[in-house]
Amino acid sequence: MISGFELWLFFRLDALQGLFAVLGIVTTLLGGFLVLFGCLEDEWERVRKAVKWSAIVFVISILFLTLVPSTKEAAAIWVIPKVATTENVNAVTGEIHEIYDLGKDYLEEKLSPVEEDE
């Protein structure tokens, strides 16, 4: 059974990916701005430290976006193995054969040539 936290996390994965995408973009822009600002002000040590932290946040954001599944992917990973057990598949397979046989019998009855009484 899926816990409440797993269900919440499951539905928030797309939002978390969006958050980290925005965070990656902002840190990239911030790093570029700091390099440009540092070139004008000659404060290279402070700029280098800020760019280093921006790069670390950017790398973490990219790793998060790459490794964390979307909501649809998480559904496939977490839900399908719990639903698609051997017992469930066998039960559905048996029902499919019954439905097929009923449909086949119905069509044979309706499509058979009508015998005329003489």
* Domain assignment present for 38: yes
* Domain assignment present for 9: yes
Instruction: Give per-residue pLDDT as tens, 39-55.
Output: 666 667 777 777 788 88
Predicted TM-score (pTM) of this structure = 0.49
* Domain assignment present for 15: yes
Segment 2-30 mean pLDDT: 81
Q: Which domain holds residue 19?
A: 4-68
Closest to 63 (Cα-Cα) out of 30, 5, 21, 11? 21
* Domain assignment present for 99: no
* Domain assignment present for 95: no
- Count the domains in the chain: 1
* Domain assignment present for 60: yes
Task: Give the CB-side neighbour count of residue 33, counting CA atoms within 13 A.
Answer: 7
* Domain assignment present for 83: no
